[in-house]
Every structure is written in C-alpha cells, then in structure tokens.
Amino acid sequence: MTIKNLLIIILLAASISACKSKVEKIHPSVESITESIYASGIIKSKDQYQAFANVNGIIDSVFVESGDSVKKGDKILTISNEAQKLNKENAALTAAYADINANQGKLNEAKLMIQLSRNKMKNDSALFYRLSALWKEQIGTKVALEQSELTYQNSKNAYYSAIVNYNDLKRQISLTSSQTKKSLQISSKMEGDYTVKSELDGIVYSIEKSKGEMVSIQTPLAIVGDANNFILEMQVDEYDILKIKKNLDVLVTMDSYKGEVFKAKVTKINPIMNERSKTFLVEAEFNKKPPRLYPNIVFEANIIVNSKDKALLIPRNYLINDSTVLNSNKVKVKVHIGLKDYQKVEILSGLTTQDEIIKPTE
C-alpha cells in the first residue's frame, strides 16, 4: 500500500468518525397539537339500497335509466306475470260470485221458507188446539187428535229447521265471501310482487338488468339512494374504537377533490366488530358537502379525538419506549407524554423548553 492510499483511508475514516460524532440536538417547543385517528372508507348515498324482486321471472319492462330521479312508489321495472294476471282475474270472478249481494236471492228464499213454515205451524197449531177442545167434549176421534198433534209437531220442527238453515246459509255465504275477497287481496298483492318500485325519493344510481333477462329473488336489480344526502362509512381499527365518540370532528380528503379538505362529524358508531378485518364501521356526515358527490367514492379521513393550542412538544423519534428521552449528557430522563400526532408528542412532565435533548442513535 502506498503512502498516498494510506492517507486517503485515514482521511475517510476521520470523516466517517466525525459524521458519527455529530449529534442532533433540540429544545422542546410550545406549539399546538391535534391528536387524530386515521380511517379510510367510501361514500354512500343516505338510505342507499339494492332493489330486489319478490318473485323469479323474466323482466318485462324497465321504466327508468341510471341517473333518473324517482319518487317513492314509482315503478322501476316489471317482471312478466301473465299467469298471475289470470289468477287475479279468476280470484275476482270467484269473489264476485261469492259476494253477499250476489247471493241475496238464496237468503231471500231461505227467509221465505221460514215465513211459510211459520204460517203452516200456526195453522197446524190452531187445528190441534181446536180438536183438543172438541175432544174434551167427547167430540171427534182420538186418532184424528193424535194425527193433528203429530202434524203440528212436524210443522214446528220444520219452522225451527228453516231458521237454522237460514242462519247457516247466511254464515256460509258471509264466510265464503270473506275468503274469496281475501284470496283476491292476496292475488292482487302477488301481482304487485311482479313490480319493483322505489322505496324513497331519490336517484336510480344503477340499473343492473335489462328487458328480457331472467332474474331471481337473489338478483340485485337496481341501486337507489338519496340524491342530496350522503354518508361517510369509515373502518376504524379495534385499537382505536374506544376513542371514537359521536360529534367528533372529521377531516376528509378525496382524490376527486385534490388539495381540498372537507369537515364532517361522527354520527354513528356500529357496535359490532367485523371479525375478518378487526374493524368497526363508523359513520359521519359532511358539515357542508362538496358540490357534487357520487356513491362509492373512496376517501381518507382523520378523526379528531383531542387538540391543544399550547403544548410542550418534541419529535416522536426523540422518544424512547414512550417513557424516556436522552439529555445533552446522554442521560435518560423519564417523561410523561400526552397527545400524539404523526410527527410530534406532547410532554406533560419531565422537560421544559430550557432542556436540551438529543436524538437516540439507531
């Protein structure tokens, strides 16, 4: 090795040693700090839902397109229901045939039988009592009296039987009429099952199927939601969920609005954890929503859990195990920490602005 090479090595070693000996030092500073919890999620229209049919079949007509406004009860699409229409017509005919008014003739006939049997009973009764009176005076025959009594009893039984028949017929007609009307209502309801209607005033965000396609009750047909109100659905880690409360401020950023930050507030905390992702669903609403929004836009959010205007702060990378720092003499000093953000941490006790601390070596 030449002297020149040896000098170069010595200079490099001295330079490296000097770099290693350079220590980063700071003093704690008083600044504002905000502690927040990061969350990501998607935007959904308020009351957004997927529309399904109640029956299987083939789509007969589609009445709206994606982006159309709808009112509650407006038709979205219908499924072919020719057989059901025939069933409804048949139920309507049966209900009309069984209606009480349509059977009034039968009731009148049964009522007339009561009247006739009552009149006959009265006549037979009068004859029987007349013959009884004559028999007491030894006029007439016993056979004629007994025959008259038997005829009177038969006519009396026939009268009571006519009353029972009338009441039974009335109950039967009433029952049949009610049953057929219920069948017609059920048939009408089933006919309604072939029509998918909007459940709210809003927008049809998506139509998933076209006319002529076969669908089942498990097939999503459309997505409908509120046109003006939106919900921020965020996934919050189980580690942070206990810090989340209603009405906390949320700062929202979206790729759709680069460089802009929107404010929102926490409105709902769903109390069950997703076992797969180990997260909780937290909902928020904009204080003032952006000019235009669409469902399923992705966003990032910071949920503000605490803030302080004047706090004693140091960089987080100066903190050792969340409990100690190194002073200028490389002596460990115990500290108590408070709020933390992504870069700095609050020192509650153990340091002042006059103290000098050094950054720990890796």
CB contact at 8 A, 114 and 166? yes
pLDDT at 247 over 90: yes
With cut-offs at 50, 70 and 90, classify the pLDDT of residue 4: very low
Can you give the pLDDT at residue 280?
Answer: 95
Residue 51 binned pLDDT confidence (cut-offs 50, 70, 90): very high
Give the pLDDT score at 318: 87
- Identity of the amino acid at 94: T
**pLDDT at 158 > cutoff 60:** yes
Q: Nearest 5°: phi and psi at 98? A: -90, 0
Name the CA radius of gyration of the chain, rounded: 46
Alpha-carbon distance of 287 to 262, in angstroms, equals: 8
Determine the pLDDT at residue 76. Answer: 92
- pLDDT value for 103: 77
Residue 97, CA distances (Å) to 172, 176, 360 in order: 13, 10, 96
Tens of pLDDT, residue by residue over 181-219, are 887 776 666 666 778 899 999 999 999 888 988 888 888
- Give the three-state DSSP class for 131: helix
pLDDT of 49: 92
For residue 273, give the amino acid letter.
Answer: M
Beta bridge partners of 306: 35
Task: Give percent of the chain above pLDDT 70.
Answer: 89
Using the Cα atoms of residue 198, residue 202, residue 203 and residue 205 in order, give the sign of their dihedral. Answer: negative
- To the nearest 10°, report the CA torsion of 327, 331, 334, 335: 10
Q: Compute the distance between CA of residue 313 and CA of residue 84 in angstroms, rounded to an integer.
A: 74
Q: Is the pLDDT of residue 37 over 70?
A: yes
Write down the mean pLDDT value for the chain: 84
Cα(199)–Cα(202) distance, integer angstroms: 9
Q: How many percent of the chain have pLDDT more than 90?
A: 32
Per residue in 249-258, pLDDT (tens digit) is 999 999 999 9
Length of the chain (residues): 362
Entry pTM: 0.59
In Å, what is the CA distance from 128 to each residue of 116, 138, 154, 276?
18, 15, 12, 95
**Sign of the torsion angle spanned by Cα atoms 246, 249, 255, 256:** positive
Least confident span in 123-137, 233-247, 296-310: 123-137
Q: What is the pLDDT of residue 350?
A: 86
Whether pLDDT at 16 is above 60: no
Q: What is the pLDDT of residues 92-140, one digit of tens each?
A: 777 777 777 777 788 888 889 989 989 988 998 888 888 888 878 888 7
Whole-angstrom distance, CA of residue 334 vs CA of residue 330: 13
pLDDT band for position 85 (50/70/90)?
A: low
Whether 148 shows a pLDDT value over 80: the answer reads: yes
Distance between CA atoms of 244 and 261, rounded to whole angstroms? 20
Confidence of residue 24 (pLDDT cuts 50, 70, 90): confident
Cα-based distances in Å from 161 to 101, 106, 111, 118, 325 = 24, 16, 12, 11, 107
* pLDDT band with cut points at 50, 70 and 90 for residue 84: low
Q: Quote the CA–CA distance of 147 and 163 in Å, as a whole number.
A: 25
3-class SS of residue 351: coil
Element (H, E) at 45: strand 29-45
